[in-house]
């Protein structure tokens, strides 16, 4: 629905960090798909279902402008066709976004037939899929940014179609508070967000706030997996006031998962936003990207080792666990295992430094 308040608005701390992640990921996404290699695609589409006005009250660029700037910085003008599709249901945002594209790119940097930009007034639910049809996006890679400010009014059928499209990925923002607060009054449309399943409604009988948030996230991860996305990455952004927002990324290529995780861990710390892995039981422990705080990963690894086979786990497999089941990078694993061994929580099958081939197991209880 249209924005309640002035347009443009002040940029939230969450938003600055998100946009830094988007920029860093697009710097990888565009060249991989369109960089001229033999397996490069003839075209790709960047689409936003909640595009906004293209600028913030402080003059910071919005994600549509950032996406175009990143394309121009990373891929030559001779590259294949790149389509841009932006949908928003506030006419003020549509007007502003058109103006911002003219202001940011007064001289069209690429020909219209190689870089069409389509800006549409309407809701994501009603317009995104038919507009993707209209511009001929299907059959080629799509990166769909569904940044709905947390409410996730996104059709499951759209997610399913996106998951079945070649080399297509989604970035979704998920704010669990609206589901938690209005669980008793939200109708079938809320179930549709979760693929028609009502499992998320179990939060109505939970008393712990953290457990409620985790349950909503778990259900939404399952929704993306059921829709057809093989690899998922989710993490929580925390601003200085303690307000949180989940970002959930879905892809069918492990390389996309690796590159998104690289983008996450390179984010500029100036935005005043912390990150944490929602699976960490002591969720007060935030990431510090200039000097990664690995205690949350140590706890997650210890839990994984303890519930595994008695002979333990190979570090190589724990690296895969970190890649696929946490917000951490595989290269963080050995650094997180070392203090566990030093404090006697785990044992290694060989003395000396822990290596990729090392087997580690939970220490016997005394």
Question: Per-residue pLDDT tens for 6-17?
Answer: 999 999 888 998
d(C-alpha 183, C-alpha 189), whole Å:
12
Q: How far is CA 330 from each of CA 20, 251, 259, 301, 318, rounded to the nearest angstrom? A: 22, 18, 12, 12, 8
C-alpha 79/C-alpha 69 separation (Å) is 15
Contacts of 19 (CB under 8 A, 6+ apart): 62, 63, 66
More confident residue, 318 or 289: 318
Give the pLDDT of residue 277.
86
The domains located in the chain, with CATH, are: 13-276 (3.40.50.150), 295-362 (1.10.10.10)
Query: Per-residue pLDDT averaged across 305-332, rounded?
Result: 94
Task: Please enumerate, as own/partner, the contacts of 287-295 that have beta carbons within 8 Å and a separation of 24 or more.
Answer: 287/327, 289/265, 292/265, 292/332, 294/328, 294/332, 294/335, 294/336, 295/336
Residue 36 pLDDT greater than 70, yes or no: no
- Which is higher by pLDDT, 27 or 280? 27
Running DSSP on this structure, what letter comes out for residue 14?
Answer: H
pTM higher than 0.85 for the full model? yes
> Hunting for tokens 């390389």 — which residue is that?
255
Which pLDDT does position 366 carry in this prediction? 47
Q: Could you give the percent of the chain with pLDDT greater than 90?
A: 69
Residue 10 burial (CB count, 10 A): 11
Q: What is the pLDDT of residues 222-273, one digit of tens each?
A: 999 999 999 999 998 887 777 778 999 999 999 999 999 999 888 877 676 7
Tokens read off for 125? 């639910």
Q: How far apart are CA 36 and CA 69, in angstroms?
A: 19
How confident is the model over 330-345, as a mean pLDDT?
95
Each residue of 65-119: pLDDT tens digit? 999 999 999 988 777 899 999 999 999 999 999 999 999 998 887 888 899 999 9
Q: Tens of pLDDT along 272-299?
A: 677 888 888 776 545 555 566 888 999 9
> What is the reported pLDDT for 113?
87
């Amino acid at each position: 629905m249209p924005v309640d308040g002035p347009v443009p608005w002040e940029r939230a701390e969450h938003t600055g960090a998100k946009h830094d992640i988007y920029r860093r990921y697009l710097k990888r996404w565009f060249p991989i798909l369109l960089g001229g290699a033999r397996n490069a695609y003839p075209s790709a589409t960047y689409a936003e279902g909640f595009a906004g006005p293209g600028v913030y009250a402080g003059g910071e660029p919005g994600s549509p402008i950032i996406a175009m700037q990143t394309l121009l910085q990373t891929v030559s003008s001779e590259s294949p066709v790149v389509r841009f599709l932006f949908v928003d249901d506030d006419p003020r945002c549509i007007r502003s976004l058109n103006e911002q594209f003219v202001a940011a790119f007064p001289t069209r940097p690429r020909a219209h037939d190689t870089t069409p930009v389509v800006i549409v007034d309407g809701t994501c639910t009603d317009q995104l899929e038919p507009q993707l049809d209209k511009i001929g996006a299907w059959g080629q890679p799509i990166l769909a940014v569904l940044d709905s400010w947390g409410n996730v009014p996104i059709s499951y059928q759209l997610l399913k179609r996106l998951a079945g499209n070649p080399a297509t990925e989604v970035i979704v923002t998920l704010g669990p508070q609206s589901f938690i607060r209005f669980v008793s009054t939200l109708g079938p449309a809320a179930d549709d967000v979760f693929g028609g399943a009502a499992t998320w409604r179990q939060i109505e009988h939970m008393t712990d706030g953290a457990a409620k948030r985790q349950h909503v996230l778990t259900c939404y991860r399952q929704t993306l997996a059921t829709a057809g996305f093989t690899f998922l990455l989710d993490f929580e952004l925390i601003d200085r006031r303690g307000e949180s927002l989940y970002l959930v990324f879905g892809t069918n290529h492990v390389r996309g998962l690796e590159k998104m995780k690289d983008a996450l861990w390179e984010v500029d710390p100036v935005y005043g936003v912390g990150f944490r892995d929602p699976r960490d039981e002591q969720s007060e422990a935030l990431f510090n990207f200039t000097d990664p705080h690995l205690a949350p990963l140590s706890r997650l690894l210890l839990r994984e080792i303890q519930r595994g086979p008695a002979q333990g786990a190979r570090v190589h497999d724990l690296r895969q666990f970190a890649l696929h089941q946490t917000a951490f990078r595989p290269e963080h694993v050995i650094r997180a295992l070392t203090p566990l061994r030093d404090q006697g929580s785990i044992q290694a099958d060989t003395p000396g430094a822990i290596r990729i081939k090392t087997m580690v197991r939970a220490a016997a209880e005394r």
